[in-house]
Amino acid sequence: MEETIYYSLPYDLQYFSDDKTEEPTGKKIEDTRKKGQVGKSQEFANGVQLVFAFLMLRIFASFMGERFIGVIDWIYGKEIVDIISVERGGLTVQTMSVILMQAFLQMLIIVAPFFAGGFLVALLSTGLQFKFKVTTEPLKPKFDKFNPVSGFKRIFSAQALINLALSVAKILIITIVVYSVVKDRMNEIYLLYDIPLNEAIAGVGSLVIDIGFRISLILVVVGIVDLIYHKWKFKKDIKMTKQEVKDEYKNSEGDPQIKSKQRQRMREASQRRMMREVPQADVVITNPTHVAVAIRYRAEEDVAPTVVGKGEDVIAQRIKDIAKEHDIPIMENKPLARAIFNTVEVGDVIPPELYEGVAMILAAVWKAAGKI
């Protein structure tokens, strides 16, 4: 019976997984932000804006009321009557335009702080949730949004259920807050029938502001919870698979195999240049088999002995072969050869702490050659 032989392939199957388990890279986050996708909560922004609106009403309600009544008194006051009385033929269109423009400017002065402050708060409550970045990507039409299947999935998605639960929770909270406040101030409400109109309007305004301020504070708390959830969900949604991280690295940094080949070619070119400089050496110091260092010293050119070549094993042997070809002395000094190899790069001069050892070798070489 023929035996079946099984072979195992050394593949890491995690790279074929679609599970997004890796934290998003900086490039992934930046690309996502360029598309206008960020972790934010509209509930939090709405809550902050409501707090600001009711806070402004609580502070400036009396001022606004007085200014508003002043505008009404001005419209129906003696000044306007006098203007109309001097007009021949009754109230003209031009006079009416002047009156309405004046009234409009007065009303604008009343609401301008709300508009300006509201705009600033709306910008900050949304923009401070993430780093500000201008992008037009969300304005581009996306035809997949017109797909009824995709729309159906969005309606019945988990996010839609969460939004529904959040809306129901807000309705319940608002109902409870309104009921509790109205119940506590029921005696004031009963008195509205027996007090002057101005006081009644002020009382109703105070009640509405009180309810609104409490509701907005609760909505801010709900918004904070919603913001934490959206931040977590956004980070979870943009997580990457191991293969995506690998592909992004290749695209941004280049294929590791190609870069390795490029580095190899650069090393080979550097070695060829170094080998062309070795014949200029005065001596080659070895340890004696694993390390070789080529030293050159020209008193009229070099400030100190200079390393023109160094290497280990195969390169060291190649340096020694070139030295033999050009009758360059080869001297054995294990500690000095190793010290120069570890501390001095090709093209650099010998450091002062190694001067003595190198000088002794150069002196021996020059003495043997009859130069000294």
69 SS3 class: helix
Tokens 């009921």 locate to: 179
The domain boundary, picked from 193, 216, 237, lies at 237
Q: Is residue 328 part of a domain?
A: yes
228 and 324 in a common domain: no
220 and 276 in a common domain: no
120 and 57 in a common domain: yes
Q: Which domain holds residue 180?
A: 38-237
305 and 225 in a common domain: no
- CA–CA separation, 342 and 354 (whole Å): 12
- CA–CA separation, 223 and 199 (whole Å): 35
What total number of domains does the chain contain?
A: 2
Q: Is residue 29 part of a domain?
A: no
CATH code: domain of residue 348: 3.40.1690.10
Q: Is residue 14 part of a domain?
A: no
289 and 227 in a common domain: no
Q: Tell me, what's the pLDDT at 284? A: 92
- CA–CA separation, 215 and 219 (whole Å): 6
Closest C-alpha among 20, 10, 70, 8 to residue 237: 20
Q: Is residue 27 part of a domain?
A: no
Q: Give per-residue pLDDT as tens, 189-231.
A: 777 777 887 777 777 878 888 888 888 888 888 888 888 888 8
Q: Tell me, what's the pLDDT at 86? A: 54
317 and 273 in a common domain: yes
Q: Tell me, what's the pLDDT at 285? A: 92
Q: Is residue 30 part of a domain?
A: no
274 and 232 in a common domain: no
- CA–CA separation, 23 and 31 (whole Å): 14
Which stretches of the chain drop beneath a pLDDT of 50?
A: 1-17
Q: Is residue 260 part of a domain?
A: no
Question: How many Cα atoms occupy the beta-carbon half-sphere of 173 within 13 Å?
Answer: 16
The domain boundary, picked from 237, 254, 279, lies at 237
Which parts of 52-152 are beta strand (E)?
none
273 and 229 in a common domain: no
220 and 304 in a common domain: no
180 and 67 in a common domain: yes
166 and 121 in a common domain: yes
What is the value of pTM for the model shown? 0.48
The domain boundary, picked from 194, 220, 237, lies at 237
Q: Give per-residue pLDDT as tens, 232-262.
A: 888 887 777 777 777 777 666 655 666 677 7
Whether the Cβ atoms of residue 346 and residue 293 lie closer than 8 Å to each other: no
151 and 225 in a common domain: yes
Q: Is residue 1 part of a domain?
A: no
